[in-house]
Structures are given as C-alpha cells and as structure tokens.
C-alpha cells in the first residue's frame, strides 16, 4: 500500500485558513467514506484539530491521486485556496511525521499532550467509518504508542504548557489574582475541562460554565465547584465576567461586537479579557478593537508558548532517535505486507488451474467412485501447496529486505501477474494472516 499525506498546520497557515480547513465532526465519517470509494483509495484518516488538518491516504499505487485536489474536494473548495500552504509527504516521511505529531514536537506548544487524545479520536472515527483497516489503524496505534514512549523516556513534556494552560497563564498576566476574577468558560469539551482544571489549580473560585450540552456543563461545573448555566444564558453572563475563555465547536462566532457592547453596560469594572481557543473562532475579530477589551485567539498564544520551549527542545535529539527507530520497525512491517497481494494472486491462479484440470479429468472419467474423486481433489491440492511453498517463502523474504518494491516487481513479471488489474483489496492482511507479525 502506498501511504500519502496532505495537510496544513499552524506552521503553514494562519487561523483564517485553518478555519476553512475545519470540518464539523458529524460530517467527517461520510466525507471519509466518499473519499475511500474513489478508485485506487484503500484507506483514509483525517486528523483535524485547532492547529492542523491532515489527510492520510492509503492507495493501491496503481492510480495517480492528486492529493491537494483530494484535500480541497474534502473541504468543498477550490485547490487554489490552499495553494502554497499545504505540505505533501509520501511513504516513510508519512510514518515519521505522524510519530512526531503524536510525540507533540510538531505542535504549537512543544511537547503538549492534547494531541494524543485528538489522534485517538481520529483513529476511532476512521475505523467507525470503515476507512481505516490494516495499515492506517496499525499506523495510528503505533503513533499513540510512540507518543507514550517519548513522554516516558524523555523530558519533552516537562513543564509543558498546553494550549489551555497558556491561556490561563496569559490571563494571570492581566489579573494578578484569579480568585478575585469572575470567569466565564464557554464550552465543556476536553479543552474546556483542561482550562477549568488549570483555573482551579491557580486559585479560581468564581467561574461559570456554559455548553450546548447542558449535562456536560453540569458535570464539569460539579467537578470543579463552578456554576453551570444554560447555553442561551451566556450573553447575560458576559455582563458579570472579567475573563471569558471560549472553546466551542460552533461553525460561526458566538461572541459578537453587538453582544460585547451590550454586556459592557452591565460590566461593573475593569477590562474584559477574552481568549478564543476555538477553530473556527468563537469571537468576532472586531471585538478586539473595542475599548477596554483584550482579545487573544489561538495564534496569539504561540509567542507565549515559545518562552517555555527552549529547555524541552533540548530533548529533540532523543525524540528523533525514538521516532527513527519506530519508523524503521513500522516500515519493516509494511514491507512484509507488500508481498500479500502477489501471494494471494499466485494462490488464486494456481487454484484456478488446479480446479479446471481436476474438472477435465473428472469429466473424462465419469465412472470414478466418490472416494476416488475425493482422493484426486486432495492429491491435486497437496501438489499445488508443495509447488507454491518455496515461491511463497521467497516472496516473504523479498518483502523483508531493503529492495522490496524492486524485487516484487520482478516477481510480478516472472509470474505474469499484474496487480493493478486485480480488484482492490481493503485488507492487505487477509487470507491466512500473511504479512502480520
């Protein structure tokens, strides 16, 4: 299987473009299934976070797939929109990249841990949609294991500031004591929970949680001693808030200029401090132009995050050593899979020949007894098995060496088998388990 990756991240695109590349969670399964139905595409996985949107594709290598066009089609827009902002990776580079992503060294906040949960969710979505099977499932699971190993064997996350904790630390630069600040947390998902925990750890006492899912808001509020309100009550809560941290999945801004102006009349004293962690953004950019309003979006957090990265970046050589080792191991496994389609095709051809010849023989000798017919069937299968034994073992050995592609191409010509003309196989590890460890 040929592995390909196309994507953009905070390193290649600003928040406006990342917003355009953000897909609502509920549409992702259907999008992946539509993609996987295209000719040549065997597997597909989408990793979509606030800071990156990456499409991983496994193809049969027989059909040319223009990855930027596929990415644009997935987001229903022109390829020109993302031109100059996408990165394209193939083969080993795809494996190495996803391992580094899981380790947190490709994140906006170096070494952060939220990406592990986001990657795990992406794998589950793709598996649920039926678009991640043998290779991408294995790749995702190994990436999660690599992320865990990196954090166990290195200090890459020592003193790590996640996006959530960066937001809280930024708030502390404006409000010396969080126990005096009135805080509104808009959104009760994973990021919201991380923000709430960090707030409590830093002395926050007075904060309110609002979420479209009221049960989640209530659970989060109970866990951290906060007050939960209905989502439609948050405009009123703005009037009583000093700090607003928003991290919902709304497709359009929730905190508008008009709403902030309306809230200003009920604001008792001091500035209104907003941190927008959402992509797409929850707060209209123009809100930041209002008097006594300070707005920071997710891109604004990058400078603050860099201040604590230098020490952790010293661990990068150790991380790269682990990633390189794990990449070699994964590539060795995928190399073994390259022989499976050819081995299956060779078996099927041999079985077809055997079956036809047995039928001819039985037609020529219609008086054979059932016992004799069965003996002929068993003997012919044994002959085929013995003839194929050495060639199949040879294919396994070819797949395990450093020139698997070249060797298997020669084997295809030798046996007269064109894999590109065969039906696509979704599970390269099927038929007896060949290719698995």
Is 50 labeled as catalytic in the residue annotation? yes
CA distance 416 to 353: 14
- Contact between 10 and 87 (Cβ < 8 Å): no
**Three-class secondary structure of residue 186 per DSSP:** strand
CA 66 to chain centre: 20
Q: Identify any residues that bridge with 273 across adjacent strands, giving them in sequence order.
A: 243, 294
Q: Are the C-beta atoms of residues 237 and 264 closer than 8 Å to each other? A: no
Spatial distance between the Cα atoms of 233 and 186, rounded to a whole number of angstroms: 11
Is the preceding omega at residue 106 within 30 degrees of 0, hence cis?
Answer: no
- β-partners of residue 283 are 255
Q: What share of the chain is helix, strand, coil (3-state, %, to 5)?
A: 55, 15, 30
Length of the chain measured in residues: 437
Q: Cα–chain-centroid distance for residue 19?
A: 17
Beta-bridged to residue 295, according to DSSP, are 274
Count the helices and strands in the chain (H runs, E runs): 16, 10
Q: Out of 50, 160, 247, 308, which one is annotated catalytic?
A: 50
Helix (H, G, I), strand (E, B) or coil at 420: helix
- Please give the positions annotated as active site: 50
């Amino acid at each position: 299987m040929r592995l390909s990756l196309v994507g953009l991240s905070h390193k290649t695109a600003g928040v406006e473009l990342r917003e355009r590349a953000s897909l609502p969670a509920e549409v992702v399964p259907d999008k992946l299934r539509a993609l996987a139905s295209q000719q040549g595409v065997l597997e597909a996985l989408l990793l979509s976070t606030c800071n990156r949107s990456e499409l991983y594709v496994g193809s049969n290598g027989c059909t040319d797939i223009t990855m930027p066009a596929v990415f644009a089609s997935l987001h229903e827009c022109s390829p020109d929109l993302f031109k100059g902002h996408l990165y394209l990776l193939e083969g080993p580079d795809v494996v190495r990249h996803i391992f580094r992503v899981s380790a947190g060294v490709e994140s906006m906040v170096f070494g952060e841990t939220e990406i592990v949960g986001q990657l795990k969710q992406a794998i589950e979505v793709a598996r649920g949609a039926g678009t991640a099977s043998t290779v991408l499932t294995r790749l995702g699971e190994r990436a999660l294991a690599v992320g865990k190993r990196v954090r166990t064997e290195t200090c890459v996350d020592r003193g790590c500031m996640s996006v959530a904790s960066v937001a809280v630390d930024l708030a502390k630069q404006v409000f010396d004591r969080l126990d005096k600040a009135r805080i509104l947390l808009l959104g009760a998902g994973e990021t919201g929970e991380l923000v709430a925990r960090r707030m409590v750890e830093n002395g926050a006492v007075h904060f309110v949680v609002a979420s479209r899912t009221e049960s989640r808001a209530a659970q989060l509020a109970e866990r951290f001693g906060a007050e939960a309100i209905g989502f439609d009550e948050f405009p009123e809560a703005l009037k009583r808030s000093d700090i607003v941290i928003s991290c919902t999945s709304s497709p359009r801004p929730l905190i508008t200029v008009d709403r902030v102006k309306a809230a200003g009349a009920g604001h008792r004293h001091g500035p209104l401090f907003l941190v927008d962690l959402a992509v797409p953004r929850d707060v209209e950019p123009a809100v930041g132009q209002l008097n006594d309003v300070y707005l920071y979006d997710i891109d604004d957090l990058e400078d603050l995050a860099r201040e604590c990265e230098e020490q952790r970046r010293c661990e990068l050589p150790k991380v790269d050593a682990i990633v390189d080792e794990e990449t070699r191991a994964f590539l060795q496994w995928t190399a073994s899979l390259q022989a499976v389609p050819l081995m299956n095709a060779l078996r099927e051809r041999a079985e077809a020949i055997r079956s036809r010849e047995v039928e001819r023989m039985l037609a020529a000798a219609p008086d054979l007894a059932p016992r004799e017919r069965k003996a002929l069937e068993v003997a012919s299968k044994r002959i085929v098995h013995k003839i194929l034994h050495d060639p199949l073992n040879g294919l396994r050995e070819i797949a395990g060496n450093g020139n698997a592609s070249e060797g298997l191409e020669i084997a295809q010509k030798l046996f007269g088998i064109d894999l590109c003309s065969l039906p696509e196989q979704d599970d390269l590890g099927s038929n007896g388990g060949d290719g698995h460890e």
